[in-house]
Chain A
């Protein structure tokens, strides 16, 4: 029983990161009385990103100031269904967010769209390469929405974030002499701001990649190149490459975040309320289990609070929507033995590799200069931009050199064979700190019948609720993809003319390692789709089972993509909001009959 019962509201939003903030903005614009509940603390540029105290590597990166409070909750992992899962006790492989702005406050700012064929990955591969090309156990699905349908929303998000870049196409015409990304899909408009400056390492990468016949371009960056005011009247200042982006709140209002780009507008409206330190336990359902009545949460004082609402938006971090649905009894949990059920299915990560170049003293690459969303990338090996027929794997990935600001505690790269301590380590650190750079292969990760999420039988959070359990490992298909691209990129590394090259790539048979940071880009668990037997949400991100519950965020992706997920997750949130505003509010019922 709840200690407190609140007055009913029109909509309650669970989780205030990028997609929660977007839904709050859209639904308040539609006139709804909206309450957003955020499990973490209130955060804003001041005081959480205030100069100079925010430029503190130890506090923010090693002590996880803006990341999830691991003492209260975590997730568990096992490599296979036959193993016992163990908790993720320290932040390593990925950095989940918490607090107002979510991971959108401490993200890097790499702002991508998606390649159209990735939205229909299953049908695209089947049509182009034949039904047998997709290996057994790989459970590809289509999103059920097309690039053309999402294009206006991609454009809107770029204008919302002040994204800086250079288009290749606009309305079918090559613009600016074709210096943009020739593999990108058609666009209705150029980026909001001109492309960013190019740091020295990214310049070397660009020259070498072009020499090798590839197609480098300046990445679209949500670390903005000029002063900017967005549609909501929210203002940004030009990025000065301070090197403290990923893991930090930008002190300079230069990195787009929910806190900078949406919240200032929401604060002005009376029909919006944000409650921080409120941890939602479940979405409450009526006796039919087909309609939500609101949510139950624990507030900062430890009270259990019932918040009735006509509409519930689940916008927790990536995989946490799957946990919320499982805890609430929404949808059918996925059963890997029968393949039936969809909640927890379609779990995807990304498959990373890196190639590092060492130049020795005097090169002055000055890697402390950087903006984590900016750099030079190439898409020659992403999505289906290259012929997969002779390669026999599904997927691809962009490659980029994006100097993010190398900070010394996080690890100063040293050449292979250098000890980790002692005089020789010290010499290597001194000689290499300003004289090394790397590029990364940010590969996709496909979905499989035996990679999935469910509730852990042993470990709980501080409210006594079961942790989410990952059954997850890396698969040959994705490792082969990563190895192929990394091998292709060796010629670029050589053309950059370093003294030595260090390649970090997975071997066939390697298992997922939770220790070193790889990426925070999880996807899936509450997949969207056209078939209710294989998806949790319909194409408008509405629960098939409980029509007044919608879910947003990268958890809705039914497959992994090559790019970082924020651009697609945010565009999909606007797509869903449009359906709610234009269709659902007038006639609240399932938007797709099934």
Chain B
């Protein structure tokens, strides 16, 4: 089942986008889609409105919606990331964060930054907005898809100056959280309706393949199971 409609997250993003920058969005596909918006949109609790618009627009390009399966927005990726920011993970409380932090360490040594996910997103999303404004005199969300993708590629390659956070480190954090929100159990707020699992035929928490181990080459027929 392919969901053509939009999730509450996308609706919230679009409504906020309209509220904050109506001129820029008017006439776009986003504005048309907003007509479908209904009540009870997701309200981010960590991200500020401007950050929320940028975050949604970023993950929308990392995993775009198409005929194959849900996009990141439909899957609830941005909602998932917002929820994660309020957990110990968001505060960096799962990591060894004792000082001193050494700058310029070899990437082979793993994560050596002082940023928690919360502080990294706060700094980097503002940095992305600044960089895009300087280059294009627009917000990231207002750009054409090709321009968005080009900026994301610069981020990935470490070429987009976004301030204090090394761009490739922010990209890695964002991509990891995007994968997580796309493919996690729906109980965490992402992977809405398990559609990402359906797309790849992952049965989730089915939890018993005793009779399937030696049935070679057959497509597994049962739908996925959530623990939620």
* 8 Å CB contact of B98 from A87, A198, A363: A87
Complexed CA–CA distance, A420 and B62 (Å):
8
| Residue A385 CB within 8 A of the other chain | no
Chain A residue nearest in CB terms to B91:
A71
Contact partner of A515 among B89, B110, B180, CB < 8 A? B110
Q: Which residues of A contact B100 (CB under 8 A)?
A: 458
| B112–A460 CB distance below 8 A | no
A243-B184 contact given A84-B102, A421-B62, CB 8 Å threshold: no
Mask of A70-102 contacts with B, CB within 8 angstroms, 1/0:
110110010100001011111011000000000
Q: Which of A480-532 contact B (CB under 8 A)?
A: 511-515
Asked if B200 CB lies within 8 Å of chain A CBs, one says: yes
Chain A interface size, as a band, is: 35 or more
The reply to whether B149 and A430 form a contact with Cβ atoms under 8 Å apart is: no
Closest A residue to B178 using CB positions: A421
* Chain B residue nearest to A429 in the complex (CB): B200
Q: Is the CB of B179 within 8 A of A409?
A: yes
B63 near A242 (CB under 8 angstroms)?
no
Q: How far is the CB of B113 from chain A (nearest CB, A)?
A: 9
Least Cβ–Cβ distance between B189 and chain A, in angstroms: 10
Cα A527 to Cα B30 with chains together (Å): 65
Contact partner of A52 (CB less than 8 A), chosen from B180, B203, B207, is B207
Contacting residues of chain B (50-73) with chain A, CB-CB under 8 angstroms: 61-64, 66, 68-69
Q: A241-B209, A409-B184, A459-B98 are in contact. Are A53 and B108 (CB under 8 A)?
A: no
Assess A430 versus B199: contact at CB under 8 Å? Given A70-B95, A364-B219, A515-B108: yes
Query: Which of the residues B94, B106, B156 comes within 8 Å of A70, measured between beta carbons?
Result: B94
For B39, what are the chain A residues with a Cβ–Cβ distance below 8 Å? none
Q: Cα distance A86–B184 when bound, in Å?
A: 31
Q: Is B36 part of the binding interface, using a Cβ–Cβ cutoff of 8 Å?
A: no
Q: What 1/0 mask marks residues of chain A from 56 to 79 whose CB sits below 8 Å from any chain B CB?
A: 111000111000011101100101
**Across-interface contacts of B156 in A (CB, < 8 A):** 420
Listed stretches B2-10, B12-20, B122-130, B210-218; interface member = B210-218
B95 contact from A71, A458, A513, Cβ within 8 A: A71
The answer to whether A427 has its CB under 8 Å from any CB of chain B is yes
- Interface of chain B, main secondary structure: loop
Taken together as a complex, chains A and B put the C-alpha atoms of A99 and B68 apart, in Å, by: 43
Q: Are A426 and B98 in contact (CB under 8 A)?
A: no
**A89 touching B108 by the CB < 8 A rule?**
no
**Does A400 make an interface contact (CB < 8 A)?**
no
Contact B185 A422 (CB under 8 A): no
How far apart are the CA atoms of A287 and B102 in the complex, in Å? 41
Cβ of B227 within 8 Å of any chain A Cβ, yes or no, is yes
Known: A58-B188, A90-B110, A433-B200. A408 touches B68 (CB 8 A): no
CB contacts (< 8 Å) of A423 on chain B: these are: 64, 66
Report B-chain residues with C-beta under 8 Å of the C-beta of A422: 61-64, 149
Q: Which residues of A contact B62 (CB under 8 A)?
A: 421-422
A227 to B82, alpha carbons, bound, how many Å?
A: 44
**Is there contact, CB below 8 Å, between B68 and A430?**
yes
Task: Choose one: B63, B95, B96; the contact of A426 (CB below 8 Å).
Answer: B63
In Å, the complex CA distance between A84 and B64 comes to 43
Using known A-B contacts A58-B185, A62-B180, A427-B68, determine if residue A369 contacts B212 with beta carbons closer than 8 Å: yes
Contact B110 A514 (CB under 8 A): yes
In the bound complex, what is the Cα–Cα distance between A508 and B204 (angstroms)? Answer: 40
Residue of A nearest to B201 (CB): A434
Residues of A within 8 A of B187 (CB): 56
Do A251 and B207 form a contact, CB below 8 Å, given A364-B218, A420-B175? yes
User: Are A408 and B110 touching (Cβ within 8 A)?
Assistant: no
* Residues in chain B near residue A240, CB distance under 8 A: 207-210
Q: Closest residue of chain B to A459, judged by CB?
A: B98
Q: Does B197 contact A (CB under 8 A)?
A: yes
Asked whether, in the complex, the Cβ of B212 is within 8 Å of the Cβ of A241, the reply is: yes
Are A197 and B96 within 8 A (Cβ)?
no
Give A363's nearest chain B residue, CB to CB. Answer: B217
For residue B159, give the distance in angstroms from its CB to the closest CB of chain A.
Answer: 16
Contact between A408 and B183 (Cβ–Cβ < 8 Å)? yes
- Write out the residue numbers on chain B whose beta carbons fall within 8 Å of the beta carbon of A434: 200-201, 219-220
Assembled-state Cα–Cα distance A199/B213 (Å): 5
A497 to chain B, nearest CB (A): 13
CB-CB < 8 A to A514: which residues of B? 108-110
B202 within 8 Å of A by Cβ?
A: yes
Residues of chain B within 8 A of A56, CB atoms compared:
185, 187, 205, 227
Compute how far the CA of A573 lies from the CA of B217 in the bound complex, rounded to whole angstroms.
43
Q: Across the two chains, which residue of chain B brings its CB closest to A62?
A: B180
Instruction: Indicate whether A30 reaches chain B with its CB closer than 8 angstroms.
Output: no
Per a CB cutoff under 8 Å, which of A71, A79, A427 touches B94? A71
Do A74 and B96 touch (CB < 8 A)? yes
Interface: A412 (CB within 8 A): yes
Q: Are B208 and A70 in contact (CB under 8 A)?
A: no
Determine if B202 and A433 form an interchain contact, defined as CB atoms under 8 angstroms apart. Answer: yes
Shortest C-beta distance, A71 to chain B (Å), equals: 6
Q: Tell whether, in the assembled complex, residue A511 and residue B110 are in contact, meaning their CB atoms are under 8 Å apart.
A: no
Q: Is the CB of B95 within 8 A of A242?
A: no
Considering only residues 153-187 of chain B, those with a C-beta below 8 Å from chain A are 156, 175-176, 178-180, 183-185, 187
Q: Known contacts being A57-B185, A422-B64, A434-B200, is A512 close to B108, with CB within 8 Å?
A: yes
B222 to chain A, nearest CB (A): 12
A251 to B227, CA, bound (A): 14
Mark interface residues in A233-272 (1 if CB within 8 Å of B CB, else 0): 0000010111110000001000000000000000000000
Q: In the assembled complex, which residues on chain B have CB atoms less than 8 Å from the CB atom of A244?
A: 207
Q: Is B21's CB within 8 Å of the partner chain A?
A: no
A203 at the interface (CB under 8 A from B): yes
A242-B209, A514-B110 as given contacts; A408 in contact with B197, CB under 8 Å: yes
15 A-B residue pairs with Cβ-Cβ distance under 8 Å, sorted by A, are A52-B205, A52-B227, A58-B184, A79-B108, A92-B110, A241-B210, A242-B206, A365-B217, A366-B212, A421-B61, A422-B61, A423-B64, A433-B201, A434-B220, A515-B108
Report, nearest first, the 9 A-B pairs whose CB atoms are least far apart: A55-B205, A408-B183, A433-B200, A74-B96, A52-B227, A514-B110, A58-B184, A240-B210, A421-B62
Q: Enumerate chain A interface residues (CB-CB to B < 8 A).
A: 51-53, 55-58, 62-64, 69-71, 73-74, 77, 79, 84, 86-90, 92-93, 197-200, 203, 238, 240-244, 251, 363-366, 368-369, 407-409, 411-412, 420-423, 425-427, 429-430, 433-434, 458-460, 511-515
New contact pairs (7) apart from A71-B96, A364-B219, CB-CB < 8 Å: A58-B188, A88-B96, A90-B96, A422-B62, A426-B68, A434-B219, A512-B108
